[in-house]
Amino acid sequence: MKILMVLTSHDQLGDTGNKTGFWLEEFAAPYYVFKYAGADITLASPKGGQPPIDPSSDNEDTQTDDTRRFKDDADAQRHLATTLQLADVTESGFDAIFYPGGHGPLWDLAEDADSKRLIEAFAAADRPVGAVCHAPAVFRHTLGADGASLMSGRRVTGFTNSEEDAVGLTNVVPFLVEDMLKANGGQFERGDDWADFVLRDGKLVTGQNPASSASAAKEVLALLG
């Protein structure tokens, strides 16, 4: 079982002068779900190498058992520091693709041609595609075989407008995940703010927020049997 995890390379939070990146829990929780299931995990990012960790996800208030495990796991840290460059990755040989969130993907992966190529290839091959929190941003331009948005008519979730408002970034992000998914024809559903909420529609798995990270990874595993 081979799983491709794709992380952002973007570290600038708009024009605020603050840093962003991927959300540590949204990487660590799925990483260990996949690892303990025996998966062979490949990590990739647009620029390759060490992807940026959102500093807000790396403070004491946001630590979880999985993030603490990661901080004590030298092998996992080396793995993360050596992500492949996305342009060099093909879908061949992988059973599923999974995107951790954080605000970074709104700027780079949402517009990345290689990410779009991979998602469309996995969807065409009917292989699981997973994304959590802000990572459903990667579906902004993806198309199905019929030329319509890959989100059209699909049950989907992601970071909600109310959650974005709660973190004070509604007017900073380039677009709101909830609004984009709806505009692309997605049947957007949600749980309570900050609660674990995951949807599975065919081979598409989406999670609402950081608390949904492990559950989204487990849904991907369930699709792989």
Mean pLDDT of the chain: 98
pLDDT in tens, 45-66: 999 999 999 999 999 999 999 9
pTM of the predicted structure, to 2 decimals: 0.98
pLDDT in tens, 111-162: 999 999 999 999 999 999 999 999 999 999 999 999 999 999 999 999 999 9
pLDDT in tens, 153-211: 999 999 999 999 999 999 999 999 999 999 999 999 999 999 999 999 999 999 999 99
CATH number for 100: 3.40.50.880
DSSP string, 95-135: SEEEE--SSGGGTTGGG-HHHHHHHHHHHHTT--EEEETTG
> Which residues span the domain enclosing 139?
2-224
- Number of structural domains in the chain: 1
pLDDT at residue 32, as a whole number: 98
